[in-house]
A and B are shown apart, each in its own frame.
Chain A
Amino acid sequence: MQTLKENWGKYLVEVVILAALFTLVQYGITTRLLNQYYEITLTSMCINIILSVSLSLINGFTGQLSLGHAGFMAVGAYASVIMTNMLGYPFVLGLLAACLVAGLAGFIIGVPTLRLKGDYLAIATLAFGEIIRVILMNIDYVNGPAGILGITKMTTWGWLFGLTLLTIVVIVNLINSSYGRAIISVREDEVAAELMGINTTKYKVLAFVIGAMFAGLAGALYAHFFYIIKPETFNFLKSFDILVMVVLGGLGSTTGAIIAAIFITVLTAALQSFPAIRMILYALILIIVMIYRPQGLMGNKELSRQTFSRIWGGRK
């Protein structure tokens, strides 16, 4: 309890800022000051942050390039909709089911494929992501390629805000724990990590499963906001979308992933009527970032209080 008390004090500024942000947006939504356009953008932003932070755990911190993140999002979306819309359970159970089923899918896919390295792993995860999509297209229970329509809207700003925060807190704490150090050591040098007695497969699968669980969560939030899900939404271009955020933010930076997710969401919203231009920009971002700044905007650095105090010339 002591540490918790200390931590509350330590993070007081952050808590106040976040609470203010939450209340402000909630006020805006209830009073209809923020119209539907902004609500959609904010929702996409939160979902993108969850996706980007969770993929960053796999691609950035564990160093295992996965191109199948949209597949786990699809699993989560379908699992939650089956729970809520088709079986009539409450939203919380839908969210839980999304996490569990997506995590299970991550485990089933992760155990065999994570033996592969580098580009082979990338292609195998891409293939699995597509297989998930094709399987969903062939299940009549979920209407195949037509998808599920008329999902009850249950994703409120409260859920979005809380779960985005939860994702960030869980993943940041994981990275800062001894598990996290093991995960990073796998990225830095797998052979050396193995020699130090780290069970590299275990940590790779762990990171993969946790990443998949949060992708599933994002899928559930997506499904219960946008009324409709169909397999086509979760094709590998969606995985590439998420990859753009992680690459742009920096492989191995959670704050980078968050900033990039916000930036990409705003860019997407701004270029809504020019989808081709948006994709061309994505492409250029990938190419230019890889050539001129392969570590991404933030590299493996994090934006923290220290950064701000340095910028404002304050003393720490």
Chain B
Amino acid sequence: MLEFIQQMVNGLSLGAIYALIALGYTMVYGIIKLINFAHGDIMMVGAFVGFFSLTLFGANIIVAMLVAMLVCAVLGVVIEKIAYRPLRNSTRIAALITAIGVSLFLEYITIFILGPTQKVFPASAFVVKAYDIAGLSILNKDVFVIVLAVVLMLILQYIIKRTKTGKAMRAVSLDQEAAVLMGISVDKTISITFAIGSALAAAAGVMYGIYYSTVNPLMGIVPGLKAFVAAVLGGIGIVPGAMVGGFVMGLLETIVSGYGNSLYRDAVAFGVLILILLIKPTGLFGKDSGDKV
């Protein structure tokens, strides 16, 4: 039992990271119906920006995370402007193929500049300590990741529910044409959505760096796909769904690698995806709109 709870704690922090990435997927999908394949790679860029802020400029971990979020917010907006905006009225397949292109571009431009080898996240940036609580070994990095992720999610909920920008985002995702008629700038709202989503991914990237203590140019692919599964699981386009989906995926993954075969870890994520797509493509929190299958 104790071991099970221990696994749960590990799963929660991993889940928090997935949830943060899944939020970006779900927000972008909600607003322009695009599976932003490059989202995992934005997370990777965030991790590298964090890494260089720590090693080159000696920033502390919070500052590094803020810098990464800022850089990635700008990156997200630029990607949307250059690659996705010209395709807004074309087919979703064309947009998806472009997103795959952007994803490959970010991965290999990073390999081209920095080389393919992985870099060790500086241990001094975040000194890992273990606390012994009621027989459980709780790592401070787990607590840090979970608390920070929850804070970011609360801020996001506040932005979406209570601010004018959030209202505009909800309006555009509901009905773009009607939103335009109400005087909402669709372009600006979509840009803001990309900025927020990418910033969250960057925060997740830095957390991922702390969690696994290495960064490499292809690190975004697998967590990106898993976060996508999380977003679909929760119901893509639905913000609370992505949070729940992320945590479920994190827990599932630690359970499978803890009790089963860790080589099957990735297959489980994809298996979950296929099951949801076949049984309830709108996800756990989705309402049946009947247009997906």
Contacts and interface: CB of A to CB of B under 8 A. Distances in A.
A210 B194 CA distance: 40
Contact of A291 (B83, B109, B263, B273): B83
B57 to A, nearest CB: 26
B56 interface: no
Contacts of B293: 115-117, 120
Interface in B240-272: 261, 263-264, 266-267, 270-271
Contacts of A138: 261, 263-264
Interface stretch (B93-101, B126-134, B207-215): B93-101
A197 interface: no
A247 B95 CA distance: 12
Interface string B74-103: 000000000100110011111111101111
A189 to B, nearest CB: 13
A247 B97 contact: yes
A118 B277 contact: no
Given A138-B261, A276-B112, A243 B267 contact: no
B108 A119 contact: no
A134 B104 CA distance: 22
A267 interface: no
A25 to B, nearest CB: 32
A130 B266 contact: yes
Interface residues of B, number: 42
B266 A286 contact: no
A216 B90 CA distance: 33
Contact of B102 (A112, A120, A128, A287): A287
* Chain B interface, >50% SS class: helix
Contacts of B103: 283
Nearest to B269: A127
Contacts of B96: 65, 118-119, 122
Interface in A241-265: 243, 247
A233 B91 CA distance: 31
Interface string B264-293: 101100110110011001000000000011
Main secondary structure of the interface of A (DSSP, over half): helix
B144 interface: no
A287 B105 contact: yes
B107 interface: yes
A192 interface: no
Given A116-B292, A118-B92, A290 B98 contact: yes
A135 B112 contact: no
Contacts of A287: 83, 98, 101-102, 105
Contacts of A290: 87, 90, 94-95, 97-98, 101
Interface string A256-296: 00000000000000000000110110111111001100100
B97 A113 contact: no
A120 B108 contact: no
A230 to B, nearest CB: 14
A134 B97 contact: no
Given A127-B270, A290-B87, A283 B104 contact: yes
Given A138-B264, A291-B87, A127 B105 contact: no
B281 A286 contact: no
Given A118-B93, A122-B96, A138-B263, A130 B270 contact: yes
A122 B292 CA distance: 13
A255 B107 CA distance: 31
B91 to A, nearest CB: 8
11 contacts: A118-B92, A122-B93, A124-B273, A130-B225, A134-B266, A134-B267, A284-B101, A287-B101, A287-B102, A290-B94, A290-B101
Question: What 5 A-B pairs have minimum CB-CB distances, sorted nearest first?
Answer: A286-B101, A283-B105, A127-B270, A279-B108, A283-B104
Interface of B: 35, 83, 86-87, 90-98, 100-105, 107-109, 111-112, 116, 225, 228, 232, 261, 263-264, 266-267, 270-271, 273-274, 277-278, 281, 292-293
Interface of A: 65, 112-113, 115-120, 122-124, 126-128, 130-131, 134-135, 137-138, 144-145, 240, 243, 247, 276-277, 279-280, 282-287, 290-291, 294
Given A130-B266, A283-B103, 4 more contacts: A127-B274, A280-B109, A290-B90, A290-B94
